[in-house]
C-alpha cells in the first residue's frame, strides 16, 4: 500500500516576520520585506537593498548557550524547527526516535563564519582561528543541530543544490517517508548570506538588482526587472506518514503528493532558455501526485526577477499548463527577495497557506508585465479563489530543478 505524506508542522523566519503567522500575514497583506542593507556598509558593492531578517533574537526559542555556538544559518534552521515541532505537537512516546529523521538544505551554509574567520586569520594569525570554525561553517550542521536537539535518530542529511536546495530537501524527505524509511521527517532550508562576501560575490556575477527603490528592486515577470534581491531566513516543515499522524490526532495542514527533480545539464548559472528541465520536473511532480495540469489552481514560481529565469520559467509553465484555463502564478520573492537555498522552504509554507486560506500571494510591485511572460499572474483582484492543488518551483545554479506538488 502506498504511504501518504502530510505536513503537520511549519515554522518560518523571513524578511516579512519572525514566525510562521507573521510571514503568512505579511504575504496576505502584500508587504515588502526588502529594504536598505543594514548588516554592513554595502555601498562599495553597488548593491543597496536586501531582504534582511529584522530584530532576530535566537534566545526567544533557543537557549543562549546553544545559539551562541552556531552560525546564523544554523540558528535560523533550529529556530524554525522548534516552531514547526511545537505546531506538530508530539506527545511523549508518539514518535520513535529511530523513525524520525532530518533532511535540510542550504545553498552556502556558514558563510558568515567563513568570512569572519578568514579575516581573523589574515589580521591576527592562524592560531586565532576559532575551534568552532569548521563545525559552524559546514552546511550539514543545520541538519546535525536539529537532529541532536530533537533526538532524531533516523537519517540526518544536508542537501546543497544552490537555490533548489530546500525543495530537494523537502522532496527527498517526502520520498523517505513514502518509501517506508521513516514515519516523521524534519525538513526545510536556511540561508544567511547577506554579508560582504555574499553580496560582493553575487554582484560580481551581475546577478543582483542594482535598483535603489526597495519597492522596485525585486519585480518578477516585470519588463523592467534587472536582477534578484538577496534574502535571508529559514523555514521548516514537519512531514509525517498519514496513518501515523491520524493515529495521534494531529492537525493536517496539507498533503505533499508529488516531487519532480531534473537537471538542465546546460550552464553553470543560466537556465535552459526553453525550460526543458523545468517542464520535465513539473510533469514528474504532477504525475507522481496523480494530478493533471488542469487540476492545479496555483503555482508558486521560482520567479527570481532575473531576465533569464523569468523568461524560461514562464515558457515552461505555459507549455505544461496550456490546457488549464484557471491556474494563476505568483512569485513571493517580490516580497521576500531570494533566500537562495532557503527559498523553497519559505515558499512551501506560502503555498500551503494558499491551500489553507484560499488566498494566493500577489505579484507585488509588478507594473509592466513582460510581453515574453505569457502566463496568468495573481493580482489583487484575482487572489481570492478556491485552491485545491498547487505546485512550487525551485531552480538553482548548476541546472538543478525541483518541483513540489501539494493538495489540501
Q: Go through the domains of the chain in sequence order and give each one's CATH number.
A: 5-247 (3.40.47.10), 259-407 (3.40.47.10)
The span from the CA of 317 to the CA of 324, in Å, is 11
Closest CA to 167 of 281, 5, 246: 281
- Burial state string for 141-151 with b = 16 or more CB within 10 A and e = fewer than 16: bbbbbbbebbe
Mean pLDDT over all residues of the chain? 97
Q: Which residues contact 182 (CB under 8 A, 6 or more apart)?
A: 99, 100, 101, 154, 155, 176
Catalytic center residues: 163, 302, 338
CA gap 227, 245 in Å, rounded: 42
Nearest to 14 by CA among 345, 359, 395, 381: 345
pLDDT band at 250 (very low <50, low <70, confident <90, very high): very high
Predicted confidence at residue 2, as pLDDT, reads 84
- Around Cβ 265, how many Cβ atoms within 10 Å? 10
Burial 314-345 (b: 16+ CB within 10 A, else e): bbbbbbbbeebeebbbbbbbbbbbbbbbbbbb
User: What percent of the chain has pLDDT above 70?
Assistant: 100
Statement: residue 216 has pLDDT above 80? yes
pLDDT for residue 389: 98
- Give pLDDT tens digits for 380-394: 999 999 999 999 999
Kind of pairing between the strands at 49-50 and 156-159: unpaired
Our CA angle for 2, 346, 184, nearest 5°, is: 35
Q: What is the pLDDT of residues 110-169, one digit of tens each?
A: 999 999 999 999 999 999 999 999 999 999 999 999 999 999 999 999 999 999 999 999
Q: Which residues contact 381 (CB under 8 A, 6 or more apart)?
A: none
SS3 at position 147: helix
Per-residue exposure over 56-78, b if at least 16 CB sit within 10 Å of its own CB, e if not:
bebeebbeeebbeebbbbbbbbb
* pLDDT of 402 over the 80 cut: yes
pLDDT, tens digit, for every residue of 4-40? 999 999 999 999 999 999 999 999 999 999 999 999 9
Residue 289 has, within 13 A of its CA and on its CB side, a CA count of 32
Task: Name residue 240's beta-bridge partners.
Answer: 6, 184
Q: What percent of the chain has pLDDT over 90?
A: 98
pLDDT tens digits along 47-79: 999 999 999 999 999 999 999 999 999 999 999
Look up residue 215 and give its DSSP letter.
T
For residue 1, is pLDDT > 80?
no
Find all residues with CB under 8 Å of 369, minimum gap 6, and list them.
Answer: 221, 222, 223, 377
Q: Please check the confidence at residue 341 and state whether its pLDDT lies above 70.
A: yes
Alpha-carbon distance of 340 to 232, in angstroms, equals 8
DSSP for 190-204 reads: EE---SHHHHHHHHH
The CA angle 232-254-9, to the nearest 5 degrees, is 55
Amino acid at each position: 500500500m502506498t504511504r501518504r505524506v502530510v505536513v503537520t508542522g511549519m515554522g518560518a523566519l523571513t524578511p516579512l516576520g519572525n514566525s510562521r503567522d507573521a510571514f503568512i500575514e505579511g504575504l496576505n497583506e502584500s508587504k515588502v520585506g526588502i529594504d536598505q542593507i543594514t548588516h554592513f556598509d554595502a555601498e562599495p558593492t553597488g548593491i543597496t537593498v536586501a531582504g534582511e531578517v529584522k530584530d532576530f533574537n535566537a534566545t526567544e526559542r533557543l537557549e543562549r548557550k546553544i545559539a551562541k555556538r552556531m552560525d546564523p544559518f544554523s540558528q535560523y534552521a533550529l529556530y524554525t524547527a522548534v516552531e514547526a515541532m511545537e505546531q506538530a505537537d508530539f506527545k511523549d512516546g508518539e514518535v520513535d526516535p529511530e523513525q524520525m529523521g532530518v533532511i535540510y538544505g542550504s545553498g552556502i551554509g556558514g558563510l558568515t563564519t567563513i568570512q569572519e574567520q578568514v579575516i581573523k586569520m589574515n589580521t591576527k594569525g592562524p592560531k586565532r582561528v576559532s575551534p568552532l570554525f569548521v563545525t559552524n561553517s559546514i552546511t550539514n550542521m543545520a541538519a546535525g543541530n536539529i537532529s541532536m536537539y530533537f533526538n532524531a535518530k533516523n537519517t540526518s542529511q544536508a542537501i546543497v543544490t544552490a537555490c533548489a536546495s530546500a525543495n530537494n530537501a523537502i522532496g527527498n524527505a517526502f520520498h523517505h517517508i513514502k518509501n517506508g524509511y521513516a514515519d516523521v521527517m524534519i525538513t526545510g532550508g536556511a540561508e544567511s548570506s547577506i554579508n560582504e562576501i555574499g553580496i560582493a560575490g553575487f554582484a560580481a556575477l551581475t546577478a543582483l538588482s542594482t535598483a535603489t527603490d526597495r519597492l522596485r528592486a525585486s519585480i518578477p515577470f516585470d519588463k523592467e526587472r534587472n536582477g534578484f534581491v538577496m534574502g535571508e531566513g529559514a523555514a521548516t516543515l514537519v512531514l509525517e506518514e498519514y496513518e501515523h499522524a491520524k493515529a495521534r490526532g494531529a492537525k493536517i495542514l496539507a498533503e505533499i503528493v508529488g516531487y519532480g527533480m531534473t537537471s538542465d545539464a546546460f550552464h553553470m548559472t543560466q537556465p535552459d532558455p526553453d525550460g526543458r528541465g523545468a517542464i520535465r520536473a513539473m510533469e514528474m511532480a504532477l504525475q507522481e501526485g496523480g494530478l493533471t495540469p488542469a487540476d492545479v489552481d496555483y503555482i508558486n514560481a521560482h520567479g527570481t526577477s532575473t531576465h533569464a529565469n523569468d523568461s524560461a520559467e514562464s515558457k515552461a509553465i505555459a507549455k505544461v499548463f496550456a490546457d488549464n484555463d484557471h491556474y494563476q502564478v505568483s512569485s513571493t520573492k517580490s516580497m521576500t527577495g531570494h533566500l537562495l537555498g532557503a527559498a523553497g522552504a519559505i515558499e512551501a509554507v506560502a503555498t500551503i497557506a494558499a491551500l489553507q486560506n484560499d488566498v494566493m500571494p500577489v505579484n507585488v510591485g509588478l507594473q509592466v508585465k513582460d510581453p515574453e511572460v505569457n502566463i496568468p499572474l495573481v493580482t489583487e483582484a484575482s487572489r481570492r479563489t478556491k485552491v485545491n492543488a498547487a505546485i512550487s518551483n525551485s531552480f538553482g545554479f548548476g541546472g538543478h530543478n525541483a518541483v513540489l506538488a501539494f493538495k489540501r
